Amino acid sequence: MPDEIIVLGSSSGLPTERRFAPGYALTAAGKLFLLDCGAPASTLLYRYQLDPVDVEAIFLSHWHMDHVASLGLFLSQNRLLKRLGPLAVYGPRGTRGKVRRLLSDSFLLADELGYPLNLTNIECNESYQEALLRVTYFKTQHLERPKLKTQFGSKATACGMVIDGPGWRVVYSGDLSSSQELGPYIEGCDLLIHEMAHLPPEEVATFAATAKIPHVLISHIGPEFDEAPEKIVEAFAGIYRGQLTVAEDGTRVALKSTSRQKKQVS
């Protein structure tokens, strides 16, 4: 199993005939992980010959439904598949309680799942190690609205991630209000998975060019580009000279160090 990202879903919050909600299978040193769990990620794994019981950990960026809706089914599916090995779920503050409620609201008890479920409320700027993967969360501005803070406190937190695997670094934007938010976290990045649900492509292209990102995978694609992803390619042309991949569901990107290519991007 090569180190790679498989795009399970590339839509924005509005799934379409062509695209499912966001979720990414990540394989690193023979281990399987999920970045976000939009519906129907747990089912889509089969399409790529991946087994839900092999998922070691799920890293959630935030609790908007487009990013988490397949999680409940994934947990019960693993119970029915008689999973034995532990499953880790990481997410922003509130994740532990939300997952427990998700189980109890569907009449499941965590200690009757048959496999250990390890839930972690992440701290931003802390690193979490799973096998050879190290994931460092950072906060984004996506949910930084006074009304949400009043209503939900610090549980209304959205995050991106710096993901270090054996010899490569992926940065996953999560949802943003500006590409510039990624500035402090982008150093040494071999692949940037950048959302396109809230930002114009020209802004992302300019950021990627300035930050000298060797490879950008555009995903979380809004309705205006759903049937016309070439518009994203056109917007990047003339601004960004690195490698650009515009995701479709099923897009695969091999993960490797691009330090040599980095010197050629200018």
Residue 57 zone, left/alpha/beta (φ > 0; ψ -120 to 50; rest): beta
Phi, psi (degrees; rounded to nearest 5) at 167: 90, 0
Tell me how far, at minimum, the Cβ of 223 lies from Zn ion, in Å: 13
The 146-185 site mask, x for binding Zn ion (CB under 5 A), equals: -----------------------------x----------
Residue placing its CB nearer to Zn ion in the complex, 164 or 175 = 175
Tell me how far, at minimum, the Cβ of 175 lies from Zn ion, in Å: 4
Smallest Cα–Cα separation from 221: which of 157, 151, 165, 173?
A: 173
Tell me how far, at minimum, the Cβ of 69 lies from Zn ion, in Å: 11
**Positions in 43-82 near Zn ion (CB under 5 A):** 66
Instruction: Report the residue number whose CB is nearest to Zn ion.
Output: 175
**Positions in 203-242 near Zn ion (CB under 5 A):** none
What ranges make up the beta strands (E) of the chain?
A: 4-9, 23-28, 31-37, 55-59, 87-91, 117-121, 127-130, 133-140, 158-165, 168-172, 191-196, 215-221, 243-246, 252-254
Q: Which tokens sit at 219?
A: 């995903």
Tell me how far, at minimum, the Cβ of 21 lies from Zn ion, in Å: 8
Residue placing its CB nearer to Zn ion in the complex, 60 or 87 = 60
Residue placing its CB nearer to Zn ion in the complex, 67 or 169 = 67
Smallest Cα–Cα separation from 55: which of 9, 29, 87?
A: 87
Residue placing its CB nearer to Zn ion in the complex, 26 or 28 = 26
Residue placing its CB nearer to Zn ion in the complex, 66 or 190 = 66
Tell me how far, at minimum, the Cβ of 140 lies from Zn ion, in Å: 11
Residue placing its CB nearer to Zn ion in the complex, 66 or 249 = 66
Phi, psi (degrees; rounded to nearest 5) at 265: -85, 120
* Close Cβ partners of 171 (under 8 Å, ≥ 6 residues apart): 160, 161, 162, 163, 182, 185, 186, 189, 191, 192, 193
* Binding-residue total with Zn ion (CB under 5 A): 2
Residue 36 binding Zn ion, by CB under 5 A:
no
Please name the helix (run of DSSP H) or strand (run of DSSP E) that holds residue 97, with its range, or none: helix 95-105
Q: How many residues does the chain have?
A: 266
Between the alpha carbon of residue 164 and those of residues 6, 25, 175, the distances in Å are: 17, 15, 20
Residue placing its CB nearer to Zn ion in the complex, 14 or 254 = 14
Question: Which residues of the chain form contacts with Zn ion (CB under 5 A)?
Answer: 66, 175
